[in-house]
Amino acid sequence: MHIVSDTASSSSSSPNYITDTMIQNQFIYLARSYTNASIGFRLAGVTRTTNDTWARNGDDIGMKRALRAGTYSSLNIYYQSLLQAGSNTPGVPAGSTLLGFCSLPASGVTSTTPRSLYHIDGCNILSGTMPGGNMQGYNLGGTTAHEVGHWNGLLHTFNGNSCDASDWGDYVADTPQEMTSTSYKDSCPNSGISSSAYTGLSSQGSNPYGPQGFSGLDPIHNFMDYSNDACYTGFTPGQGARMLNVWNIYRAGL
């Protein structure tokens, strides 16, 4: 975990200072969020850096070149106090506050791949989303669980924004098909397969993925939807299986 603060919030007297307790509580939240997916984490260390440019995401490459630790199997999370969208952030005006973003696993990385070729791998997260942070509605720790889902290979449950039966959505069969994020309704009422067709890993065998999610209410409690932290409860068995498969294919042993 890398705590990257602007000058104002780097002082322990600042109301936006990230305390050791907040860091510990965030790690506990992350670990508990992935327990049912049989995924564990070990906190290898915490760094603290004061840099106004890095804190607002002004030099992402420079920051990660300087701070990234470990190998391709090492999750690096950068908690930035003023995380903003850059000029090339899709669908978000430059300078807008971001809750976070994270890289998906990439193919072709081996044990001999120079770190310089994957130094951007990791998660950037607004530090105010940590437990006790200043981002109201999003300060219980859920943003980290969501973004780390991307690092583990998950897409949004509303990926594709389609109700078409031919749309593969998030490539996980046991998440309901969803037209838009956090709708709290059945946004695809006439699409999707029977929920009884995918009831868990035991019935799905080695391939728990289908061309679309089953029918049902939009999964607002799923970490990979867009919801307030209070709504988040976990991942589906299919998402857990996908993350483990992705880990074994792209990151294990590296």
For the annotated catalytic residues, the residue numbers are 147
User: Which two structure tokens, joined as six digits, stand for 51?
Assistant: 């840099």
In 10 A of CB 21, how many CB atoms? Answer: 11
How long is the chain? 254
Q: Which residues of 34-71 are buried (b: 16+ CB within 10 A; e: fewer)?
A: beebebeeeeeeeeebbbeebbbbeebeebbeebbeee
Beta-carbon neighbour count of residue 248 at 10 Å? 10
What is the rounded CA–CA span in Å between residue 220 and residue 224? 9
- Strand stretches in 85-233, DSSP E: 100-102, 123-126
